[in-house]
C-alpha cells in the first residue's frame, strides 16, 4: 500500500504540473468563497448549495435562451426572499449507472431526487450574526430500473457506494435545523436534524450532486458517517486562519424515520482543527486533522469505532484544485481500517465545465479481502445557468467478492431553480 501511495503521489504531481499551465475563469472560485461563508457545512450543505446556485445564475452559459426564459421565476424567488427573509430553491437530479460486471444479473440502476431547500433568516436579518431555520424536503425515487444507484454496489460485490444520495427512500425531511452565527461571523452553531456528512472531513470538492459520485472518493472510507439524525454542530475561528469544529449526532440516524435517538444514547462524534489562509478560502485551500468516535450500536450489532483523518486541498489561481487524504480507524463499523486518496478538479475555462479525477486505496475492514482501489473520473458539461450534464466512469479494482474489476459508467442530470 505504501508503494502504491508513492506512485499515486508522483502521478498526481505530474498531472498538476501539466494542468497548472492552463487558464480558466475565476468566477467559480468566487462561488466557493461565498459558499464557505454561508454555512458551517461543506459545499453540498443547504445554504452553501443555494449560494453557489444563486451566483451561477449571474454568469453566461451555452443556452442563454433558456436562461432568459427562467429569469422571471428566479426574479420572483429573489423578491420573495427580500420581502420575507425566506430563500427557497428547488433542484432535481437524476443518475443512471451501469456496471460492466455484476454478480446477480442486475447491472443497471437509476434514480431521481427532487428537493426543496429553504433558508429562513428569522433573527438579526442582514446583520453580522443572523439566525436561520434551514430545511430540505426531498423525494428520492427509482427511474425505470429495479434498483437505485445506492444499491448497485451490492449487485457487483463492491465495498462502498457508487452513487451517494441516489436512493429510493420516497419523501423525507432530510434536514431541519436552526443555524446561528456569533462573534461577528467568526463562528456559529447548528442544532436540530442534521446530516453529519455535511460537517465531517470536508474539503471544497465534496458535493455528490455536482462533482464525484463514489463515497470513497468524496470521503475517507474509514469514516463511519451515519444518516441524518438529531445533533449539534459548533465551530469558529480561533485566529484569522485557525478554526475548530465539532459534531455530535445520532449514531442511528435514518433518512426515512424521524425519531429522537431510537437506539438510545449512541452517538457519532467528530472534531476537527484546521488551517486556511482566510475565512473565505476554507473550501479552496485547507489543511485539517479530524478525529472521530462512534459508540457501539447495540441493536444494529455494530461495534465501537474510532480513528482519525488528515486531509488537505489547495486551489491554484487558474481553478485547479488538488486534494488528498490519509485515514485510519480501528476497523469497528467503518468500511476500511486504512485509506489514502488523492485527486484533482480542473476548470478548463469553458463556461462552468468541470473535470475531476481521483483515486482511493482502502485496506478493508472485512477479513480476507485485498486492498480495494477506486478510480473515478467525470466531466460536467454546463448547458445553462440551471442545467448541467455529467458523464462519469468508475474503475473498481478488487471489489470484495467480485473476481472481476468492474467499470461503472454513469450519467447525471441536474436542474435547479
> Given a cut of 70, is residue 8 above it in pLDDT?
no
pLDDT of residue 99: 97
Task: Grade residue 2 by pLDDT with cuts at 50, 70 and 90.
Answer: low
Global pTM? 0.90
Tally of domains within the chain: 1
Residue 235 half-sphere exposure toward CB, CA atoms < 13 A:
25
> Given a cut of 70, is residue 231 above it in pLDDT?
yes
Mean residue pLDDT across the chain = 91
pLDDT of residue 212: 98
Determine the Cα angle at 205 with ends 78 and 238, to 5°: 85
Task: Grade residue 4 by pLDDT with cuts at 50, 70 and 90.
Answer: very low
Task: Label residue 218 exposed, middle or buried (CB < 10 Å: 0-12, 13-18, 19+).
Answer: buried
pLDDT in tens, 76-127: 999 999 999 999 999 999 999 999 999 999 999 999 999 999 999 999 998 8
Q: Is the dihedral of CA 225, 417, 77, 184 positive or negative?
A: positive
> Given a cut of 90, is residue 157 above it in pLDDT?
yes
Whole domain around residue 293: which residue ranges? Answer: 2-416
Contact assessment for residue 147 and residue 155, using Cβ atoms and an 8 Å cutoff: yes
Compute the distance between CA of residue 57 and CA of residue 108 in angstroms, rounded to an integer. Answer: 34
> Given a cut of 70, is residue 141 above it in pLDDT?
yes
Q: Which of 335, 337, 315, 339 is nearest to 325 (CA)?
A: 339
> Given a cut of 50, is residue 271 above it in pLDDT?
yes
Three-state DSSP state, 162: coil
Least confident of 29-33, 78-82, 282-286, 389-393: 29-33
Count of Cβ atoms closer than 10 Å to residue 16 Cβ? 16
User: Cell digits for 393?
Assistant: 466512469
Task: Grade residue 27 by pLDDT with cuts at 50, 70 and 90.
Answer: low
In CATH, what number is assigned to the domain containing residue 129? 2.40.160.10
Task: Grade residue 7 by pLDDT with cuts at 50, 70 and 90.
Answer: very low
Amino acid at each position: 500500500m505504501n508503494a502504491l501511495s508513492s506512485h499515486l503521489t508522483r502521478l498526481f504531481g505530474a498531472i498538476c504540473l501539466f494542468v497548472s499551465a492552463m487558464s480558466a475563469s475565476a468566477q467559480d472560485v468566487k462561488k466557493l468563497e461565498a459558499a464557505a461563508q454561508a454555512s458551517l457545512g461543506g459545499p453540498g450543505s443547504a445554504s452553501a448549495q443555494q449560494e453557489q446556485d444563486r451566483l451561477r445564475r449571474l454568469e453566461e452559459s451555452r443556452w442563454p435562451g433558456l436562461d432568459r426564459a427562467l429569469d422571471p421565476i428566479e426574479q420572483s424567488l429573489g423578491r420573495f426572499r427580500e420581502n420575507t427573509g425566506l430563500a427557497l430553491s428547488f433542484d432535481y437530479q437524476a443518475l443512471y449507472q451501469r456496471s460492466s460486471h455484476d454478480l446477480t444479473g442486475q447491472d443497471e440502476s437509476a434514480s431521481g431526487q427532487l428537493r426543496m431547500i429553504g433558508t429562513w433568516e428569522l433573527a438579526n436579518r442582514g446583520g453580522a450574526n443572523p439566525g436561520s431555520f434551514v430545511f430540505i424536503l426531498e423525494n428520492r425515487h427509482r427511474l425505470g430500473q429495479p434498483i437505485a444507484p445506492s444499491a448497485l454496489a451490492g449487485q457487483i460485490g463492491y465495498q462502498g457506494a457508487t452513487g451517494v444520495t441516489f436512493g429510493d427512500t420516497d419523501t423525507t425531511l432530510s434536514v431541519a435545523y436552526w443555524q446561528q452565527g456569533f462573534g461577528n461571523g467568526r463562528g456559529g452553531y447548528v442544532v436540530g436534524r442534521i446530516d453529519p456528512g455535511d460537517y465531517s472531513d470536508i474539503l471544497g470538492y465534496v458535493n455528490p450532486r455536482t462533482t464525484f459520485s463514489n463515497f470513497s472518493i468524496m470521503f475517507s472510507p474509514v469514516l463511519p458517517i451515519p444518516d441524518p439524525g438529531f445533533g449539534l454542530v459548533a465551530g469558529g475561528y480561533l485566529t484569522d486562519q485557525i478554526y475548530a469544529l465539532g459534531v455530535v449526532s445520532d449514531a442511528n440516524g435514518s433518512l426515512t424515520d424521524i425519531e429522537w435517538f431510537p437506539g438510545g444514547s449512541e452517538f457519532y462524534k467528530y472534531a476537527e482543527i484546521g488551517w486556511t489562509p482566510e475565512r473565505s478560502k476554507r473550501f479552496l485551500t485547507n489543511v485539517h486533522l479530524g478525529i472521530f468516535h462512534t459508540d457501539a450500536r447495540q441493536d444494529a450489532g455494530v461495534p465501537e469505532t474510532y480513528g482519525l483523518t488528515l486531509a488537505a486541498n489547495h486551489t491554484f489561481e487558474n481553478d485547479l484544485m488538488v486534494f488528498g487524504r490519509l485515514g485510519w480507524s480501528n476497523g469497528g463499523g467503518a468500511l476500511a481500517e486504512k485509506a489514502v486518496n488523492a485527486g484533482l478538479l480542473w476548470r478548463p475555462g469553458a463556461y462552468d465545465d468541470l473535470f475531476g479525477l481521483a483515486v482511493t486505496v482502502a485496506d478493508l475492514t472485512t477479513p480476507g479481502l485485498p486492498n480495494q482501489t477506486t478510480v473515478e473520473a467525470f466531466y460536467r458539461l454546463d448547458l445553462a445557468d440551471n442545467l448541467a450534464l455529467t458523464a462519469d466512469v468508475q474503475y473498481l479494482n478488487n471489489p470484495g467478492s467480485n473476481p472481476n474489476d468492474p467499470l461503472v459508467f454513469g450519467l447525471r442530470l441536474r436542474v435547479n431553480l
